Amino acid sequence: MSTVIQTRELQKTFGRVRALDGLDLTVAAGEVHGFLGPNGAGKSTTIRILLGLMRGSGGSATVFGRDPWADASALHRRMAYVPGDVTLWPNLSGGEAIDLLGRLRGGTGTPAERARRAHLLDAFNLDPGKKGRTYSKGNRQKVALIAALATPADLYVLDEPTSGLDPLMEEVFRREIQAAAAAGAAVLLSSHILSEVEHLCDRVTIIRAGRTVQTGTLADLRHLTRTAVAFSAAGLTQPDLGQLAAGIRTIHDLVIEGGRVRFTADSDTLPDLLPLLARLRVQALSIAPPSLEELFLRHYRDDADGQARTEAEARP
């Protein structure tokens, strides 16, 4: 697969504020790439640099192998963008805005394009005859989404595109994005909606404070998290537990409360853990796989929780 977006050690400073501080991001063709991070982590700044609307202060960024700042308008022929907070022209109707944006992207109003537009208007259930100023946030977002999806692109850059949509519309959005990726397009999807990321994304990059803290497939990331283990404490002695802790070095937060032993273990040590538990003949065993939510929370939390972050970063 060919690389569509590549940034290395990307930096961006606004005065004394470091918005991006070593951001690495790679997105390949045919891939839906989740771009995650807490508010203010630098997602929108990264996207604006990739669109050539801002210039990086250091490091490198390329889109289709070219400089997004210098070659902005040439690159935009192959790109479609949906901003997180869509502003429309107050006295242009939604239909006019869609047509205008389509024409600027090189659309000529062929029958196929018109059919595609009509299909999307119908699927997203949008009335194109209302003035831009009268649309709600969700409807403004639909206008930008329809304009982006109406003309095929090689790269879709979507900044929290569904934050104002209802679940039904999110479903329509997912179908369209999956179809675009299946046709070979690359998609960079910034989102806070974990179920959306889980459904759509092949790989994710998590950033915090302008740095990449984690990148990989969802399966990789799951693998790096801890699994919660609990069983009945009845009949177990202190040496038994000591033996368990000694056997598996990656057992954390071991507690005994309410008659149950609880701890977490790194998910990749689970195969070594199971024989030990069997030897202790533990009762009422429960093993909970890591949730994505837990994974994200660990990365999102601030430095009060810095431990988890350092551990995650230390891994290959």
Partner 1 sequence: MNRGPLAQLLWLRARRDRFQVPVWVLTIAALSGLSSVAVEASFGTLAEREALVRIAVATPSLLMLRGVPQGTDVAALVFFQLFAFLAATVALMNTFLAVRHSRAEEQSGRADLVGATAAGRLLPLVATVLHGAATNVLLGAGVCLAFLAVGFDPTGALLSGAAIAATGLAFLAVGLVCAQLLRTARGANGLAAALVGVAYVLRAAGDAGGTASADGLSVASGWPSWLSPIGWGQQTSPFHSPEPAPLLLSLGFALLLIAAVLGLQSTRDLDASVLPERGGRNHASARLRGSFGLAWRLQWPSILGWSIAGLLLGAIAGGLGETIVDLAESNPLIGGALASIAPGGRGSIIDLFTAALFSLIGVLAAAAAMQSVIRLRQEESGGAGELLLALPVRRIRWMNDYLALGAITIGSVLAAAVTGAGLGLIRSADTADRIASVAGSGFAQLPAALLMLAIAALLYAFVPRVSIALSWAALLAALFVGQFGGVFGLPEWMRAVSPFTHTPVSAVRGADWAGAAVMFGLAVVAAALAVWGARRRDLTL
Binding residues for partner 1, rule: CB under 8 A, are: 48, 51-55, 72-74, 76-77, 79, 81, 83, 85-101, 103-106, 128-131, 133-134, 144, 157
Q: Which is nearer to partner 1, 86 or 273 (CB)?
A: 86
Q: What are phi and psi of 190, to 5 degrees?
A: -90, 130
Tokens of 288: 């909970």
Buried b (16+ CB within 10 A) or exposed e, 158-178: bbbbbebbeeebbebbbebbe
User: Measured from the CB of residue 74, what is the shortest distance to partner 1 in angstroms?
Assistant: 7
Half-sphere exposure of 166 (CA within 13 A, CB side): 7
Pairing of strands 3-14, 17-28: antiparallel
User: Measured from the CB of residue 203, what is the shortest distance to partner 1 in angstroms?
Assistant: 23
Pairing of strands 155-159, 79-82: parallel
User: Measured from the CB of residue 186, what is the shortest distance to partner 1 in angstroms?
Assistant: 16
Among residues 204, 184, 237, 215, the alpha carbon closest in space to that of 312 is found at 215
User: Measured from the CB of residue 54, what is the shortest distance to partner 1 in angstroms?
Assistant: 4
Q: Which is nearer to partner 1, 74 or 246 (CB)?
A: 74
Q: Which is nearer to partner 1, 145 or 244 (CB)?
A: 145
User: Measured from the CB of residue 181, what is the shortest distance to partner 1 in angstroms?
Assistant: 20
The C-alpha atoms of residue 128 and residue 143 are separated, in whole angstroms, by: 8
Residue 104 CB burial class (10 angstroms; 0-12, 13-18, ≥19): exposed
Q: Which is nearer to partner 1, 114 or 301 (CB)?
A: 114
User: Measured from the CB of residue 95, what is the shortest distance to partner 1 in angstroms?
Assistant: 4
Q: Which is nearer to partner 1, 173 or 300 (CB)?
A: 173
Q: Are 4 and 64 in contact (CB under 8 A)?
A: yes
Q: Which is nearer to partner 1, 87 or 238 (CB)?
A: 87
